[in-house]
Structure 1
Amino acid sequence: MKQMEVTIMGQSYILGCPEGGEQSLLEAVENVDREMSAIRNAGKVKARERIAVLAALNLAYALAERPVSGTSTAGIMPGEAHLDALIRRIDQTLGSDGQLL
């Protein structure tokens, strides 16, 4: 697995990325950075952890609202499978930093 350094809200992170998945990861990072920055810039939330949770909820909601074009063989909708993978990635990235909630 390849490692990539990315920046979200001015903080650097080293993330694992499967070969060929670089563009998708960069797009995800851009989405997260944009969402977190918008929440921070609104000025009502200051704590990075709270901003991350709100951004994750906003992105998950947007993903859930997208039309689904079928189901996978496991019976899980593609959006749900993607969300599960995203949650696992977030948990791996946070590692020993602790839980957000």
Structure 2
Amino acid sequence: MKQMEVTIMGQSYLLGCPEGGEAALSAAVAQVDREMSAIRDAGKVKARERIAVLAALNLAYQLADAPREPPANIAPPAAPPALATPDMDALIQRLDEALAHDGQLL
């Protein structure tokens, strides 16, 4: 794991970062810095700890409220197979026969 030096609200931090995760970490740092700076610039909160907690809550709320989308690096699911195939009909018939002899499942 490599280390990256980042700056949030003018203060430097040394963070661990997995190989290849530099861009994602930089984007996350930028988002946290923007959120914390916006809270600080609003002038109502002065303490860094309170700013950090409020920023974390804002970001967590945004994440929880965001619509769920599949990650970009995952291929969309393949089209489902046609349901009315001879093999599928035979399988359904075998399942029906097996379940008929077994009685109720639940």
TM-score (norm 1): 0.67
- Secondary structure of the residue aligned to 1:37 is helix
Gaps of 5+ in 1: 71-101
| C-alpha distance after superposition, 1:37-82 (max 9, x if no partner) | 0000000000000000000000000000111247xxxxxxxxxxxx
Partner of 2:21: 21
Partner of 2:68: 68
Partner of 1:86: none
User: Could you tell me how far apart the structure 1 residues matched to 2:33 and 2:15 are?
Assistant: 14
Number of equivalent positions: 70
Bigger Cα Rg = 2
Structure 1 segments (4+ residues) deviating >6 Å: none
Structure with a larger share of its residues in helix: 1
What is the identity percentage for the equivalent residue pairs of Structure 1 and Structure 2?
A: 80
Deviation, structure 1 residue 13: 0.0
* Pairing 1:47–2:47 present: yes
Partner of 1:3: 3
Point out which structure has higher relative CO (alpha carbons under 8 A, 6+ apart). 1
TM-score (norm 2): 0.64
Gaps of 5+ in 2: 71-106
